[in-house]
């Protein structure tokens, strides 16, 4: 029998990895070249090795810090945070100017955020747990309607 307190105990209904945008890799390559340029006056082989090490280190850090959104029948996990599905109230999808307002002027400082600047749409999840001071979660997602629909389906089940 699955443990109902374990966020990984049920079958996943929705899963999205918030991968970095393609243009961020240009910055990673540029960082590698900067690492190479620092050691170029010292030694060509050392500068090439430094450039490769810097490129790999920055790339690995970027990939390792990529958050995941995962929804099961009982749990939602966004980045490092997880919450039981029963504590999620209204779910709203925001794109374009509305998403900018949610991330900016409308933002509550006590909300949980999992935002990525290269992903425009956001999903706002109201938290209805009386013991939780967090009013809502705001998360970037490339598939906001799909996530909102999956959350509404699990609420009915």
**Local confidence pLDDT in tens for the 157 residues of the chain:** 344 555 545 688 999 999 999 999 999 999 999 999 999 999 999 999 999 999 999 999 999 999 999 999 899 999 999 999 999 999 999 999 999 999 999 999 999 999 999 999 999 999 999 999 999 999 999 999 999 999 988 665 5
Estimate the crossing angle of helix 44-64 against helix 22-39, to 10 degrees.
Answer: 150
Burial label for 36, CB within 10 Å (0-12, 13-18, 19+), is buried
What single DSSP character describes residue 118?
A: T
The pLDDT score that the predictor gives to residue 153 is: 81
Q: Where are the beta strands (DSSP E) in 32-95?
A: 68-72, 75-78, 81-84, 88-94
The predicted pLDDT at position 152 comes to 86
Identify the pLDDT of residue 14.
94
Structure tokens at 93: 């999808």
* pLDDT given for residue 118 in this prediction: 93
How far is C-alpha 21 from the geometric centre of its chain's CA atoms? 12
Give the total residue count for the chain.
157
Whether 141 contacts 121, CB under 8 Å? yes
> Per DSSP, what are the bridge partners of residue 112?
137
Residue 150, helix vs strand vs coil = helix
Q: Which two tokens stand for residue 12?
A: 């996943």
In DSSP terms, 111 is beta-bridged to none
pLDDT attached to residue 38: 94
Question: Cα–Cα distance between 39 and 45 in angstroms, integer?
Answer: 9
Q: Could you give the count of Cα atoms lying within 13 Å of 142 in the half-sphere of its Cβ?
A: 11
């Amino acid at each position: 029998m699955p443990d109902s307190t374990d966020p990984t105990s049920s079958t996943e209904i929705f899963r999205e990895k918030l991968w970095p945008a393609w243009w961020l890799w240009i910055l990673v390559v540029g960082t590698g070249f900067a690492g190479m340029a620092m050691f170029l006056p010292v030694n060509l082989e050392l500068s090439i090795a430094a450039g490769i090490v810097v490129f790999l280190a920055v790339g690995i850090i970027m990939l390792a810090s990529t958050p995941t959104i995962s929804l099961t029948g009982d749990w939602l996990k966004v980045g490092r945070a997880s919450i039981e599905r029963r504590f999620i109230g209204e779910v709203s999808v925001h794109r374009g100017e509305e998403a900018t307002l949610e991330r900016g002027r409308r933002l509550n400082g006590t909300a949980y955020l999992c935002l990525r600047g290269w992903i425009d749409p956001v999903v706002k999840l109201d938290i209805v747990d009386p013991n939780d001071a967090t009013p809502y979660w705001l998360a970037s997602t490339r598939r906001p309607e799909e996530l909102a629909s999956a959350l509404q389906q699990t609420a009915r089940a």
